[in-house]
């Protein structure tokens, strides 16, 4: 297991009386790709700026490789930052931009020349030495900004929403480039984004934040499949989040219908949040009983309930073709369910909805925002 490289201990930060980070604890391992994910104003960029030395916490310490660097200037830290706006010098060539930090450190010209060549090869921009930044595309400028950062051989690369200004296709290409760079360089990447897909695609570890608290820490698979509260479930991908009652272990009631599940330890007859992903809802088309074929209708229901005693009846209210699947809205029990299916169900269709017990996620209802927070001990 990789060793702990950065340790944020009890970090608190306010701006103009507004609490941005509240007693935050987090550590990052060596060679890890860790993403700080959350909506605007959740504290993720402030966390990154505290690591980089651009902000000082009101309380708490930043430990880097065993040393307290809380008050150390940014240029004295073994971290480099890549910003969303790249901050390239337009009056300098690409080579001069990359060499800027090395010349400040008074490296020899031979050393600088070798580093420029190495960095441009690493970001697949060999031969661009004499170009100016304004003659490059957004993706190429992004690569130059990364090249300028990595030539300084930082132990950690901090990236503050660096792909936000790029179009969708280029952003996806750069995601794979960043993964490749991280693997080739063997350094720690700390990435800030509000884009869930980016986080799920690139990260070893995701830290979901909201209102100054860490909501959950885990692998992309854990964050998506096992959200710890309704905020995480709603923010990461699409979810149907409904009120439920945990009747007993492995049995939950939703809208008066009882469903088998696999969760335990929530007590008996306790209110809970129930999360069901749209892709986990199975739809079956019901026959039109107005035609008088009640027997066919009853048989369709029996076929479902033999597999799973829990099911809802609903009516398709809206459908959108998304290419690889259909996005379907189903009205049932006064709730608008979102369902993803490779089958097309016309608007007005009457359907049965069922869910495999393993795809029903049960969560406690938090009493407060503070109760949602997790500690650094979750990052194992």
pLDDT tens-digit map of 20-64: 999 999 999 999 999 999 999 899 999 999 999 999 999 999 999
Give the pLDDT score at 269: 96
User: What share of the chain in percent tops pLDDT 90?
Assistant: 54
Q: 308: Cβ–Cβ under 8 A, 6 or more apart, which residues?
A: 259, 260, 354, 355, 356, 357
- What is the pLDDT at residue 84? 67
Please give the pLDDT value at position 306.
67
Mean pLDDT of the chain: 88
pLDDT at 299: 75
Query: Is residue 246 within 8 Å of residue 362, measured between CB atoms?
Result: yes
Q: Residue 48 is encoded by which pair of tokens?
A: 């990154």
Q: Nearest-CA neighbor of 330 among 283, 289, 292, 287? A: 283
CA 1 to chain centroid, in Å, comes to 23
pLDDT at 378: 43
pLDDT reading at 221 higher than 80: yes
Which one, of 217, 214, 190, 184, lies nearest residue 202 by Cα?
190
More confident residue, 156 or 172: 156
pLDDT recorded at residue 290: 58
What local confidence, expressed as pLDDT, does residue 331 receive?
Answer: 97
Phi, psi dihedral angles at 105 (to 5 degrees):
-85, 5
Ordered structural domains, the chain, with CATH: 4-230+372-378 (3.40.50.300), 238-364 (2.40.50.140)
2 vs 246: CA distance, rounded Å: 39
Helix (H) or strand (E) holding 352: strand 350-355
Rounded distance, CA 157 to CA 164, Å? 17
Query: Cβ contacts of residue 106 below 8 Å, gap of 6+?
Result: none
Lowest mean pLDDT among 44-48, 193-197, 219-223: 193-197
pLDDT digits (tens, 9 = 90+) for 118-130: 888 888 888 888 8
The per-residue pLDDT for 375 is 41
Q: Given a cut of 70, is residue 1 above it in pLDDT?
A: no
How far apart are alpha carbons 312 and 282 in whole angstroms? 10
pLDDT one-digit tens code per residue, 285-319: 887 765 567 777 777 777 766 666 688 899 999 99
Higher pLDDT pick, 166 / 195: 195
Most confident range, picked from 175-179, 186-190, 232-236, 248-252: 248-252
Neighbours of 43 (CB within 10 A): 23
pLDDT band at 326 (very low <50, low <70, confident <90, very high): very high
On whether the CB atoms of residues 32 and 205 are closer than 8 A, the answer is yes
The average pLDDT across 332-360 equals 94
- Whether 225 shows a pLDDT value over 50: the answer reads yes
Token pair recorded at residue 24: 């935050």
Q: Residue 336 pLDDT > 60, yes or no?
A: yes
The torsion angles phi and psi of 228, rounded to 5 degrees, stand at -90, -15
pLDDT at 292: 62
Rounded Cα gap, residues 108 and 83, in angstroms: 27
């Amino acid at each position: 297991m990789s060793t702990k490289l950065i340790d944020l201990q009890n970090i608190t930060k306010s701006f103009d009386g507004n609490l941005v980070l509240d007693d935050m604890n987090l550590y990052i391992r060596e060679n890890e790709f860790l993403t700080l994910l959350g909506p605007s104003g959740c504290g993720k960029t402030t966390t990154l700026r505290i690591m980089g030395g651009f902000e000082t916490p009101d309380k708490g310490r930043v430990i880097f490789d065993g040393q307290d660097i809380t008050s150390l200037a940014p240029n004295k830290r073994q971290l480099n930052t890549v910003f969303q706006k790249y901050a390239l010098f337009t009056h300098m060539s690409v080579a001069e931009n990359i060499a800027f930090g090395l010349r400040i450190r008074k490296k020899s010209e031979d050393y600088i020349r070798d580093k420029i060549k190495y960095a441009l090869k690493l970001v697949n921009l060999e031969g661009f030495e004499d170009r100016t930044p304004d003659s490059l595309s957004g993706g190429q400028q992004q690569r130059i900004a990364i090249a300028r950062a990595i030539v300084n051989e930082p132990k950690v690369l901090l990236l503050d929403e660096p792909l936000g200004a790029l179009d969708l296709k280029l952003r996806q290409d750069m995601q794979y480039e960043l993964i490749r760079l991280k693997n080739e360089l063997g350094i720690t990447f700390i990435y800030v984004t509000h884009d869930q897909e980016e986080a799920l695609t690139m990260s070893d570890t995701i830290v979901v934040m909201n209102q100054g608290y860490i909501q959950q820490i885990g692998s992309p698979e854990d964050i998506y499949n096992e959200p710890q509260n309704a905020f995480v479930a709603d923010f990461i991908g699409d979810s149907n989040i409904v009120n439920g009652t945990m009747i007993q272990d492995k049995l939950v009631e939703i809208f008066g219908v009882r469903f088998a599940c696999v969760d335990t330890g929530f007590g008996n007859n306790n209110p809970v949040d129930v999360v069901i992903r749209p892709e986990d809802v199975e739809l079956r088309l019901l026959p039109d009983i107005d035609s008088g074929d009640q027997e066919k209708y009853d048989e369709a229901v029996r076929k479902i309930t033999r597999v799973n005693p829990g099911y809802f009846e609903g009516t398709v209210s809206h459908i959108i073709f998304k290419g690889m699947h259909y996005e379907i809205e189903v009205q049932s029990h006064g709730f608008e369910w979102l369902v993803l299916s490779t089958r097309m169900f016309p608007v007005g269709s009457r359907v049965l909805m069922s869910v495999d017990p393993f795809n029903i996620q049960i969560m406690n209802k938090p009493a407060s925002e503070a109760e949602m927070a997790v500690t650094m001990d979750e990052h194992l």
